[in-house]
């Protein structure tokens, strides 16, 4: 695998070319304000397209479906058209929250005979989009795909961010690389090279696939011609998958998880997503430390240590406990119990060093790669008061398989291969915050969101930061690879660093703004003015806008 430090150099030094859209860079992003509509997504063109759907009378579901399909083209390096999704929808007409799970499902191992199902995932994003159309959509199915088809035909402007990730995928020779797939090589490198920064990457194969999907509907990918190609290609590479695995795929509707935090209700996506449970359990512990009365964790070693140890405990508790609830019980009621939060918080206190003891831990010298950053998170609020927070990503298909412009790398995430509950266990973290019985804030992040989302939430709820500042504030990772270690952005002082070392925790410096510590998309309503506001993160290419 290409060392991550070299990959990051590609982002900084990659091919020198002028980009027509200067927003396609990392860096500070302005907040947004709107009277009745707000959209925050991972690319300006996606936000603008979703807003156009809303201006033309569509609702939040219409705008989200259009945005997701468009991101399959313009954010090709982060998501997969045969990937997965999960999200929370607030239906203003009924006042109800709905979790939609288009998660990946492992093939049924007993169907295969020969073949390995352990890296195959039946991606559910397209099926989930179809289910949303049937329940709340107001447009015709082909309408949702029109912007994506146009983008694939006219070409996607290549940013330095996209180029670096494409290089990583196509040149490193990693295990799930597509470099030995002829279709993939021709798609990514039409002239023998990756399309340079600032130029347009045309995707005729994907455009043709999307046209067929627009004509035939989601069945094309689950029982139709594309499904047949996928089964054949996956089996040729030694993977286990049967036509029945695709034909029997079902989108799952669930109740969200709920946790109280002060005067707020936290509503999160449900297992097998781990994020809602992680955020809730962490907050259930943190509320016993009165963060609002403490300095911010970037200014206090004690606050940072408390949060890191809370995250370590939440990581250990949820890591192997959460499975698909269609097959296994998940103790959400235990984790949301205030008494359990108090007990767990006391256990955290009892793991801290004795007063006056300095353990002088060294800085970490590990050169391991950071958490994954792939995926997109979108938040949309419409004029009818519907709210939608969605993450969609890869984790679909089979390693090395590439069909008609659709890239797949499969997934090695935890999942059963027998029984009724074979969905992947992933850290998806769609979150809404409720005040006075109504949504007040919705947010999420791509990558591995539970820790970054929790940090941003306490920035807002405890330290009263404006969400724009809360998204930009320093962030950290705790308990990487089961080590008592904190990886933190470097905008903290020497006093905090010394305090963390004295507490026996290793430190790893990530630089001032590190892209793998998450990339927030946030929408909230001002309770006094009723105006909607949006924020996005400086660490990636997102954009918030409303009207």
Secondary structure of 396-415 in HEC code, one letter for each residue: CECCCCEECCEECCCCCCCC
7 has pLDDT over 90:
no
The dihedral built from the CA positions of residue 58, 59, 61 and 63, taken in this order, carries a sign that is positive
User: Which of 5-19, 361-375, 527-541 reaches the highest mean pLDDT?
Assistant: 527-541
9 has pLDDT over 60:
no
User: What is the distance between the terminal CA atoms of the chain, rounded to a whole angstrom?
Assistant: 45
124 has pLDDT over 80:
yes
Rounded distance between C-alpha atoms, residue 188 and residue 235, angstroms: 24
Antiparallel, parallel or unpaired: β 521-525 and 506-509:
unpaired
Rounded distance between C-alpha atoms, residue 27 and residue 23, angstroms: 9
pTM over 0.75, yes/no: yes
- Residue pair 520/536 in contact (Cβ under 8 Å)? The answer is yes
pLDDT band at 361 (very low <50, low <70, confident <90, very high): confident
Rounded distance between C-alpha atoms, residue 430 and residue 453, angstroms: 9
What is the mean pLDDT of the segment spanning 436-451? 94
Q: What does DSSP assign to residue 377?
A: E
The predicted pLDDT at position 481 comes to 67
- Residue pair 436/446 in contact (Cβ under 8 Å)? The answer is no
482 has pLDDT over 80:
no
Task: Name 56's Cβ contacts closer than 8 Å, sequence gap at least 6.
Answer: none
Which range, of 52-56, 65-69, 74-78, averages the lowest pLDDT?
74-78
Question: Which fold does the domain 255-371+434-541 belong to in CATH?
Answer: Serum Albumin; Chain A, Domain 1 (1.10.246)
Share of the chain above pLDDT 70, in %: 93
Which range, of 23-27, 44-48, 252-256, averages the lowest pLDDT?
23-27
- 72-88 pLDDT tens trace: 999 999 999 999 999 99
Q: How far is CA 399 from CA 210, 389, 482, 528, in A?
A: 22, 29, 27, 51
pLDDT band at 333 (very low <50, low <70, confident <90, very high): very high
- 254-269 pLDDT tens trace: 999 999 999 999 999 9
- Residue pair 309/351 in contact (Cβ under 8 Å)? The answer is yes
- 493-532 pLDDT tens trace: 889 999 999 998 988 889 999 888 899 999 999 999 999 9
Rounded distance between C-alpha atoms, residue 503 and residue 432, angstroms: 34
The predicted pLDDT at position 20 comes to 63
Q: Is 68 left (phi over 0), alpha (psi -120 to 50) or beta?
A: alpha
Dihedrals φ, ψ of 196, to 5°? -70, 165
pLDDT band at 141 (very low <50, low <70, confident <90, very high): very high
What is the mean pLDDT of the segment spanning 472-480? 90
Per-domain boundaries in the chain: 255-371+434-541
Residue 286: name the closest of 488, 455, 430 by CA: 455
The predicted pLDDT at position 117 comes to 94
Task: Name 135's Cβ contacts closer than 8 Å, sequence gap at least 6.
Answer: 61
Tokens for 313? Answer: 């405990």
Q: How far is C-alpha 115 from the chain's CA centre? A: 30
């Amino acid at each position: 695998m290409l060392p991550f430090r070299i990959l990051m150099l590609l982002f900084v030094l990659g091919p020198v070319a002028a980009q027509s859209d200067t927003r396609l860079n990392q860096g500070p992003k302005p907040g947004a304000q709107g009277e009745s509509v707000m959209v925050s997504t991972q690319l300006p063109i996606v936000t603008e397209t979703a807003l156009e759907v809303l201006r033309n009378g569509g609702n939040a579901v219409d705008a989200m479906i259009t945005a997701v399909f468009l991101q399959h083209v313009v954010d090709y390096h982060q998501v997969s058209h045969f990937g997965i999704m999960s999200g929370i929808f607030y239906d203003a007409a009924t006042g109800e929250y709905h979790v939609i799970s288009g998660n990946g499902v492992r093939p049924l191992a007993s169907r295969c005979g020969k073949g390995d199902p352990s890296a195959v995932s039946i991606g559910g994003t397209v099926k989930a989009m179809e289910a949303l159309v049937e329940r709340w959509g107001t447009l015709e199915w082909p309408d949702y795909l029109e912007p994506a088809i146009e983008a694939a035909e006219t070409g996607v402007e290549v940013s330095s961010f996209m180029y670096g990730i494409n290089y990583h995928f196509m040149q490193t020779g990693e295990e799930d690389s597509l470099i030995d797939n002829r279709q993939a090589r021709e798609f990514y490198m039409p002239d023998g090279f990756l399309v340079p920064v600032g130029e347009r990457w045309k995707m005729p194969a994907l455009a043709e696939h999307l046209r067929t999907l627009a004509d035939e509907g989601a069945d094309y990918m689950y029982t139709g011609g594309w499904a047949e190609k996928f089964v054949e290609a996956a089996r040729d590479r030694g993977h286990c998958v049967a036509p029945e695995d695709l034909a029997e795929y079902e989108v799952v509707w669930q109740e969200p998880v709920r946790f109280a935090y002060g005067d707020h209700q936290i509503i999160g996506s449900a297992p097998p997503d781990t994020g809602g449970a992680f955020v809730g359990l962490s907050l259930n512990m943190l509320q016993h430390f009165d963060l609002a009365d403490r300095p911010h964790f970037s200014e206090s070693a004690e606050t940072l240590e408390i949060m890191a140890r809370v995250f370590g405990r939440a990581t250990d508790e949820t890591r192997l406990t959460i499975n698909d609830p269609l097959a296994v019980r998940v103790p959400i009621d235990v984790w949301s119990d205030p008494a359990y939060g108090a007990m767990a918080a006391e256990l955290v206190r009892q793991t801290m060093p004795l007063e006056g003891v300095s353990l002088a831990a060294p800085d970490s010298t590990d050169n391991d790669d950071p958490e994954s950053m792939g995926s997109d998170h979108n938040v949309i609020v419409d004029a009818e008061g519907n709210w939608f927070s969605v993450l969609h990503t890869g984790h679909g298909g089979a390693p090395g398989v590439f069909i008609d412009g659709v890239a797949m790398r499969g997934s090695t995430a935890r999942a059963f291969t027998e029984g009724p509950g074979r969905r992947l266990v992933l850290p998806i973290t769609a979150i809404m915050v409720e005040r006075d019985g109504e949504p007040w804030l919705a947010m999420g992040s791509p990558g591995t969101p539970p820790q970054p989302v929790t940090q941003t939430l306490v920035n807002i709820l405890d330290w009263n930061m404006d969400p724009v500042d809360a998204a930009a504030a320093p962030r950290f990772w705790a308990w990487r690879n089961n080590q008592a270690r904190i990886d933190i952005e470097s905008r903290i002082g020497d006093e905090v660093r010394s305090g963390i070392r004295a507490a026996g925790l290793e430190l790893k410096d990530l630089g001032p703004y590190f892209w793998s510590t998450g990339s927030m998309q946030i929408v909230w309503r001002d309770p006094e003015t009723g105006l909607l506001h949006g924020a996005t993160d400086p660490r990636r290419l997102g954009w918030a806008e409303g009207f």
